[in-house]
Amino acid sequence: MKKFDIIIWGATSFTGKLVTEYIFKKYGSSKIKWAIAGRNLKKLEKIRYQVADENIPIFIADSFDEESLSKFVKKTKVVCSTVGPYSLYGTKLVKLCVDNNTNYCDITGEAHWIRSLIDRFHEEAKSKKIKIINSCGFDSIPSDMGVYFIQNEIKKINNNYAKSIKMRVAGIRGGISGGTYSSINNLLKEAYRDKSIFKVLNNPYGLNPKDKMEGLDKKDLRKIIFDKESNSWIYPFIMAGINTKIVRRSNALSNFIYGKDFRYEEAMIAGKGISGFWKAILAVFPLAMIGLNPNSFLKKIVDSFMPKPGEGPGIEKRKNGFYNLRFYITLNNNRTAFAKVIGDSDPGYGSTSKMLAESALCLAFDNLSDNYGVITPSSGMGDKLLNRLKENAGLSFELKIK
C-alpha cells in the first residue's frame, strides 16, 4: 500500500510551482495524500510557504542519485514530473517508477527521449500494468485529446472514424519559460552530436511501435503555403513535431482504431491575402532563430535574450493567454466536419499546469482502461481525462458536422 497518491517532482520549477498551487487550491493538505519533491530544501520550503502550507511533506532528491529518488518513488501511486530537459534528468526516474510499480506523467516534448523510453521500458511497464504517460501539457494534450474527442463523436454520428484531420492553430497567446527554451536547446545539441536523433524527429511515425512505423503522413510542414481548408496562408507550428507523433502513436496503440490510412497534420494559420503572407514570413523568422545550430555565434546571441531556467511568463500574461485550435475533418464518405479546442489560459504554463495536474489526479484516482506501458494521454486515460479537462482545466471541445 502506497502512502501518497501523488508526488510532484520538481515543485521548484516554473511549471511545478503552478501545479503545486493548483493541487493545493483544489485539495488543501488533507483531502488527498500528496507531497512535493526537488533537490533544494530551501527553495521547496519557500514554494510551500507561497502556494501551499507546512503540512505538505517534502522529499529531497537529485535526478542523478537513484537512492534519493527511490525513497519517494516507492511511496507514491503517481509521480508527476516537471524536471526538464527530460533527456538530461528524466531517465533514472522513469526506470525507478517501472521498478517500483509507480505510475508516471510529465510534460516533455522531447520526442527522441520518449523514443528511448519506449525502447527501454514499454514492454516491462506493460507487463507490470504501469502507465508511463509523457506529453501531458500543451504538447500534446489538446491535439491528442482533441483527435480522441473528434473521432469518438464522429463514430457515434457516422458509424465510422474520420479519415483525415488537419489541425490549424487559429489563435494563441502566451510566453516561453527558461526550462522550455533550455529543453529545445538541449534537444538540438543532442541531435547535432548524434545524428540518429534526427531520424526519430524526421520520421512522422517516429514514436510508433517499431514494426508499425509506416503510414500515409509526410513530414511536418516546413514552409509557407496557401491552405484550402482554412482559406489562409499557413506556416510551421513548432509543436507539430511532437504532437503529430503522439496522435499517431495513440492510433497505433489502439490497434489502428482510426485506420492504418488515417492522416493527421498541424500548422499555424496566418490569414488571407498579402497581409496573411507577410504575417507568416514575420512569424517564421523567430522560429528559424530558435532552430539555429546551437554551436553557432548567432544562436549564442539569441540565447542571451531568452528566459533562463526558473523564469517564465508572469501572472497577467498567463491570465490573458489562450489558444484556439481548429480541426478540419474529412469523413470516410468525403463529407467534411469542423471542430474546435479552446484553452482558457496561456498554453505553456497556465493551461499546461492544469492539464498536468488533472492527468496526475486521473492516474491516481480514476478507473482507467487496461492500456499500459509507455503510452499517450488519450490511450492511457481516455474519457476520464477528457471529462476532467472539460470540467476542471478550462478546455472546451466542440464538433460541427456540415
Ligand X SMILES: NC(=O)c1ccc[n+]([C@@H]2O[C@H](COP(=O)([O-])OP(=O)(O)OC[C@H]3O[C@@H](n4cnc5c(N)ncnc54)[C@H](OP(=O)(O)O)[C@@H]3O)[C@@H](O)[C@H]2O)c1
Measured distance CA(196)–CA(385) in Å, rounded: 34
Q: Which is nearer to ligand X, 174 or 204 (CB)?
A: 174
Instruction: Compute how many residues bind ligand X; rule: CB under 6 A.
Output: 35
Measured distance CA(85)–CA(48) in Å, rounded: 23
Report if residue 179 touches ligand X, rule: CB under 6 A: yes
Report if residue 82 touches ligand X, rule: CB under 6 A: yes
Site string for ligand X, 120-139 (x = CB under 6 A): -----------------xxx
| Residue ranges in 257-296 that form contacts with ligand X under rule CB under 6 A | none
Measured distance CA(299)–CA(290) in Å, rounded: 7
3-class SS string, 19-65: HHHHHHHHHCCCCCCEEEEECCHHHHHHHHHHHCCCCCCEEECCCCC
Report if residue 90 touches ligand X, rule: CB under 6 A: no
Measured distance CA(347)–CA(323) in Å, rounded: 6
Q: Which is nearer to ligand X, 321 or 348 (CB)?
A: 348
- Report whether 82 contacts 356 (CB < 8 A): yes
83 closest CA partner among 16, 18, 166, 181: 16
Residues β-bridged to residue 106: 81
Measured distance CA(269)–CA(173) in Å, rounded: 14
Measured distance CA(283)–CA(118) in Å, rounded: 34
Q: Which is nearer to ligand X, 44 or 280 (CB)?
A: 44
Site for ligand X (CB under 6 A): which residue of 25, 45, 64, 214?
64
Site for ligand X (CB under 6 A): which residue of 180, 230, 232, 254?
180
Q: Which stretch binds ligand X (CB under 6 A): 172-180, 255-263, 324-332, 367-375?
A: 172-180
Q: How far is the CB of 122 from ligand X (least distance, A)?
A: 20
Q: Which stretch binds ligand X (CB under 6 A): 93-101, 309-317, 330-338, 361-369?
A: 309-317
Residue type, 337: A
| Residue ranges in 181-220 that form contacts with ligand X under rule CB under 6 A | 183
Report if residue 164 touches ligand X, rule: CB under 6 A: no
**Residues contributing to the site for ligand X (CB under 6 A):** 10, 12-16, 38-40, 43, 62-64, 82-86, 89, 107, 109, 137-139, 177-180, 183, 309-310, 312, 348-349, 352
